[in-house]
Structure 1
Amino acid sequence: MRRFSGVGHTAAALLAAVSLATACSAQGDAQQPSDGSSPGDPPARAAQSATQAPSAALAPFYTQKITWTPCQEKFQCGKLTVPLDYADPGGERIQLSLIKLPAGGNRRIGSIILNPGGPGGSGIEYARAARTVLSPAVLARFDTVGFDPRGVGKSTPVRCLSGRELDVFIGLDGTPDDPSEVSALARGGKQFAEGCEAHSAKLLPHVGTHDAARDMDVLRAALGDQGITYLGKSYGTYLGAVYADLFPKRIRALVLDGAIDPALPPVPTVNAAQAHGFEVAFRSFLSDCFTQQNCPFPEKNTDAALGRLSQFLKTTDQHPLRNATGDGRSITESWATLGILAALYDKATWPVLRAALGQGFRGDGTTLLKLADLIVDRRPDGTYSNQTEANMAVNCVDHPYPHKIAAYEEAAKTAQRESPHFGAYVMWGSLPCDYWPVKSAASDRPLKAAGAPPIVVVGTERDPATPYQWAKSLASELSSGVLLSYDGDGHTAYRTGSTCVDEAVDRYLISLEPPRSGTLCPKVT
């Protein structure tokens, strides 16, 4: 019951978390040149100053100094103060939580800011995985900086429902078959929205991506960087594109991997495309599955296997699967579907999906439930991070949504015809925005970032969550977009196994040499 646009958890985390079930995831050289380059490097592109300097009211935020303190291993933690409302910078302030891993070499260029997606994903937790997220070459040259955007994680989080209430909400029938099931789903969406208003009313109008991008520029200044260096994945590409459109002259290098097309409306276009992407990814999973000894589809035929999946989901809709965790949850069709979608994010997780479906076909949904828990960040004690709540809160203010349930019904029917296993489920996931207490004034439009230096957009041809066409569109919409393509499976491409992608991105981040637009990196076998 969410918009699927986040990197979420790595394949390694998924594999580690379900392994038990499947057995029955030094500061830089002070003498660096003032433009941020290092001796012997190609001439760096100095970031141009913004067309308009921060207002006097915003100056205290832009000139603040971050106090860094040690926090586990070699990481340092800090806080950034920003206005709750940028239209009233003298009013209430909030704090954002930060983490930094200092550059490992003595030829430091500056900082690289990370965002893992979501919206709602924790940039702090993502940065803690810096040694797998970034290459050794990048880690040597940049301080790696992660932050939880406003409303997320440790940064003034949005709160809506208790853990038990979220269990019920996520388990609601996401593919309603009759008016009573539609009404139940509508009540759930309304209760979610009302819960957010009850617990976070003051924050809700100010958690959108436009505000998060402005926060990121304050962070850039507080880090002492003339121009931002940024790696955003999935929803993080939207955050990066919004930043580029607001501050095109304050960019050093932007990598947008697993791109979202900002010109598309979520209902029906984005949701329908995502559902189709998951259908394509499941077909790729089947092609691989048929070559494996433990494939739970003995027919070795795609159409027959898809029929088996359809029957499984239909049966689970009527008769929930067994849950061996002992937590009392009923493993409904929605939980099972969510577990399947979670495992499609990364090819490395396909072995877990084979085992989970094999168990599911025998009536045991425990491993599917564990996969689902990972994507919504549910902890073993029944509590959740605020990822699901922040995801909805940001999406509902970022985009205009229909405010008639009939529009969702029609869109779901169309999506189900085009994507019979996941279409309706993904489409209905946006329903709480119909009842959202803050009505969006945003519009979905292309973002040009006129005057920005080259921005690298990375697209994976069989990406399940952010279809490849979106990367092509974003690269063409940005005035300086450069498209780097990967003939691969899974969500996002950098540091997922392609040396071609990794080398092209590293060269751009370090030396500001973008790849030739249209470069296609071959499939990794």
Structure 2
Amino acid sequence: MDTRRPARLVTALAALTLALTGCSILPFGGTATSPSSDSSASDGGSGSGGDAGDGKLPEIGTSAAADLDGDPATDEKYSSYYSQQIDWQPCEDYTGARCGSITVPKAWNDPSKGDITLQMIDVPATGQKKGSLLMNPGGPGGGGVEFVGDSGTSIVSESVRENYDLIGFDPRGVGTSDPIRCLDDADTDEYLADTYDMLTPDGLSRGKEWMQRIADACEQNSGDLLGYMDTESAARDMDVMRSAVGSEKLDYLGFSYGTYLGATYADLYPSRTGKFILDGAIDPTLTGDEMVAGQAKGFEDAVHAFAQWCIDQGSDTCPLKGTVDEGVQQIRDFFAATDETPVATNDSARPLTGALARSGVLVGMYNDQNWSYVAQGLQGAMNGNGSLLLYLADLSSERGDDGHYTGNGTYSITAVNCLDHPAVEDETWMQEQAESLAETSPTFGGSMGFTGMACGLWPEGPVRKPAEIHAKGSDLIVVIGTTGDPATPYPWAQALAKQLDNSTLITWEGEGHTAYGRSGGCVEDAVDQYILDGTAPEKDLVCS
């Protein structure tokens, strides 16, 4: 098999560099193995996750961006932030785009504690400009500068490009915006490749060691920022961006975690919420444990859908054989074998371990258009060459060919989620939940438990209690859900649309994470009409 990295593969997967950070508490690498039993996924559950049950959530503090005295936009002590003009200059890395920055207070309730510099990008409208469309790719930990610079013009339509500047930004602590620093590249390689089973005493001990090591490194290198990376603070930052680009109301396109960020903004500033599109929505009432449980089922469903597709392609394309359940079990057996004996790759120093193999397969579940690469990667790895699956795993963690991680999503996801989504920290409860996930979602579930352990060791505790978001008084907010979305299961979109005071839900009957730019026209047409002329989508629109 030719294991070189074709340009078309790089292009097809470029938008997935946030990949495994999806909306999980932890990145996928360096976590527990999954069982090699013959059990299949449970058909039950709504996809909205588990229940905290008798598990007690930790004490929840208060965000430094909460309960401010009045509106910062009209408060004199914030005037220097709201009066900023961005000094746009041609970007070095993105042709036709302009780059610039703004400053925001690190602690919104006390600007005297210093500022954070946020990096931004602007892809100017190709025609008569109607406004600016702020975009966020998700994560948390996804860099919006790279996202808009590399992919923004291919995601939105020509009509939107003609009428709107596309604005991207790296949120506080992420990417190039005063990024937090934790482990170095070599240690991150070791962490993401390490494979152990946290359902065993030795594996649990090793997992704790990694979590503590990461928490200590983050605190040592970036401890002064870790307490201010919550989503409410980032949403306040977005209002400064709105002012800096000269918009009375913010127009916004957010994906995945970007829906939670957008909904939070709308709740803080409903009168300044313009045309909002939230694609791949998160339900803000969920705990961290409930989010992980929903994703475990979502990815179990996705790998079954992939197996069916793969088997239908025939043996020339697909290494899986037999029924769908048998094909999925072959993937699990491959993971278990790789746990014991890593597969050689084109890099003799970096064999494909069990953790990396799972990452390489899981990233492909984000977009069914990439299933052929997963099949090719499995075919190669099952025949002794894990290079393509290693490449997919590296793509998901933003690792370049030179061994340098271009983003910090592996760690910033934990920094944000541990502030935003409390999780049970009782070890006995976590053990029971992890065993349940391994039983009901055997392919990846065993690797997705112990959410509260990482956050319990984290230097900063949660600052938001799970609760509904209503954004009462906002303009219409368009929520989009994909029925086969593994990372933000469809019931989450239904829940958010129901909570918001003024919203409409678009449903795409498809596979993969998010819909806009992938649905083939129906979702795109409805969204574009709303962005361009304010036409509300058909009520309860279903696209297939």
TM-score, length-normalised on structure 1?
0.88
- Counterpart for residue 333 of structure 1: 354
The alpha-carbon distance between structure 1 residues 53 and 153, as it changes in their structure 2 partners (threshold 3 A), is closer
**Aligned residues of 1:404 and 1:434 also touching (Cα < 8 A):** no
The range that moved more, 173-182 or 364-373, is 173-182
Shift of 1:185: 0.8
- Counterpart for residue 414 of structure 2: 392
**Aligned residues of 1:175 and 1:428 also touching (Cα < 8 A):** no
Letter in 1 for 2:375: R
Q: Distance in 2 between matches of 1:434 and 1:372?
A: 27
- Counterpart for residue 433 of structure 2: 411
The alpha-carbon distance between structure 1 residues 130 and 428, as it changes in their structure 2 partners (threshold 3 A), is same
* Matched residue SS, 1:274: helix
Shift of 1:60: 1.4
Q: Distance in 1 between matches of 2:526 and 2:516?
A: 9
Alignment partner of 1:362 is 2:383 = yes
Alignment partner of 1:459 is 2:505 = no
- Counterpart for residue 123 of structure 1: 144
Q: Distance in 1 between matches of 2:378 and 2:320?
A: 12
Q: Distance in 2 between matches of 1:329 and 1:431?
A: 28
- Counterpart for residue 132 of structure 1: 154
Shift of 1:427: 2.4
Shift of 1:10: 6.9
* Matched residue SS, 1:371: helix
The alpha-carbon distance between structure 1 residues 174 and 406, as it changes in their structure 2 partners (threshold 3 A), is farther
Asked which structure has the greater RCO (Cα within 8 Å, sep 6+), the reply is 2
Alignment partner of 1:94 is 2:116 = yes
Selected match of 1:63 from 56, 63, 83: 83
Matches within 5 A, 1:150-299: 150-173=172-195, 175-267=197-289, 269-293=290-314, 294-299=316-321
Q: Distance in 2 between matches of 1:492 and 1:356?
A: 23
Q: Distance in 1 between matches of 2:105 and 2:486?
A: 36
Matches within 5 A, 1:31-70: 53-70=73-90
Shift of 1:51: 7.2
Alignment partner of 1:476 is 2:498 = yes
Letter in 2 for 1:399: H
Letter in 1 for 2:14: A
The alpha-carbon distance between structure 1 residues 511 and 82, as it changes in their structure 2 partners (threshold 3 A), is same
* Matched residue SS, 1:112: strand
Cα deviation per residue 1:251-291 (whole Å; 9 max; x = unaligned)?
Answer: 11110001111110111x11011111111111111221122
- Counterpart for residue 321 of structure 1: 343
Deviation >6 Å, runs of 4+: none
Q: Distance in 2 between matches of 1:184 and 1:340?
A: 24
The range that moved more, 174-183 or 127-136, is 174-183
The range that moved more, 444-453 or 64-73, is 64-73
Letter in 1 for 2:428: A
Q: Distance in 1 between matches of 2:477 and 2:449?
A: 31
Cα deviation per residue 1:236-260 (whole Å; 9 max; x = unaligned)?
Answer: 0110011111111101111000111
Shift of 1:486: 0.4
Q: Distance in 1 between matches of 2:137 and 2:438?
A: 29
- Counterpart for residue 512 of structure 1: 534
Q: Distance in 1 between matches of 2:522 and 2:338?
A: 42
The alpha-carbon distance between structure 1 residues 159 and 191, as it changes in their structure 2 partners (threshold 3 A), is same
Cα deviation per residue 1:407-452 (whole Å; 9 max; x = unaligned)?
Answer: 3222111111110111121224664212001111221111111111
Letter in 1 for 2:75: S
**Aligned residues of 1:14 and 1:374 also touching (Cα < 8 A):** no
Shift of 1:298: 4.8
Q: Distance in 1 between matches of 2:452 and 2:510?
A: 28
Q: Distance in 1 between matches of 2:142 and 2:16?
A: 19
Cα deviation per residue 1:187-241 (whole Å; 9 max; x = unaligned)?
Answer: 1011111110010000101111111100000100111100000000001011001
Alignment partner of 1:376 is 2:377 = no
Selected match of 1:350 from 334, 350, 371: 371
Shift of 1:403: 2.5
**Aligned residues of 2:304 and 2:325 also touching (Cα < 8 A):** no
The alpha-carbon distance between structure 1 residues 88 and 393, as it changes in their structure 2 partners (threshold 3 A), is same
Letter in 1 for 2:279: D
The range that moved more, 285-294 or 442-451, is 285-294
Cα deviation per residue 1:97-118 (whole Å; 9 max; x = unaligned)?
Answer: 0110111112x21100000000
Shift of 1:360: 2.0
Q: Distance in 1 between matches of 2:131 and 2:15?
A: 32
**Aligned residues of 1:508 and 1:515 also touching (Cα < 8 A):** yes
**Aligned residues of 1:320 and 1:330 also touching (Cα < 8 A):** yes
- Counterpart for residue 14 of structure 2: 13
List runs of 5+ in structure 2 lacking aligned partners: 1-9, 18-69
**Aligned residues of 1:204 and 1:438 also touching (Cα < 8 A):** yes
Shift of 1:502: 0.4
Q: Distance in 1 between matches of 2:455 and 2:138?
A: 19
Q: Distance in 1 between matches of 2:389 and 2:196?
A: 16
The range that moved more, 329-338 or 293-302, is 293-302
Aligned residues: 478
- Counterpart for residue 97 of structure 2: 75
Shift of 1:177: 4.2
Selected match of 1:495 from 514, 517, 524: 517
Q: Distance in 2 between matches of 1:502 and 1:226?
A: 25
* Matched residue SS, 2:478: strand
**Aligned residues of 1:99 and 1:127 also touching (Cα < 8 A):** yes
**Aligned residues of 1:57 and 1:90 also touching (Cα < 8 A):** no
Shift of 1:480: 1.0
Shift of 1:178: 1.6
Shift of 1:15: 10
The range that moved more, 178-187 or 381-390, is 381-390
The alpha-carbon distance between structure 1 residues 388 and 315, as it changes in their structure 2 partners (threshold 3 A), is same
**Aligned residues of 2:351 and 2:386 also touching (Cα < 8 A):** no
- Counterpart for residue 40 of structure 1: none
Identity of aligned residues (%): 38
Cα deviation per residue 1:76-110 (whole Å; 9 max; x = unaligned)?
Answer: 1111011111111233112100110111112x211
Q: Distance in 2 between matches of 1:141 and 1:411?
A: 49
Matches within 5 A, 1:134-149: 134-149=156-171
* Matched residue SS, 1:118: coil
Shift of 1:497: 3.8
Q: Distance in 2 between matches of 1:373 and 1:243?
A: 32
* Matched residue SS, 1:357: helix
TM-score, length-normalised on structure 2?
0.85
Q: Distance in 2 between matches of 1:438 and 1:179?
A: 27
**Aligned residues of 1:174 and 1:428 also touching (Cα < 8 A):** no
**Aligned residues of 1:392 and 1:433 also touching (Cα < 8 A):** yes
**Aligned residues of 1:174 and 1:425 also touching (Cα < 8 A):** no
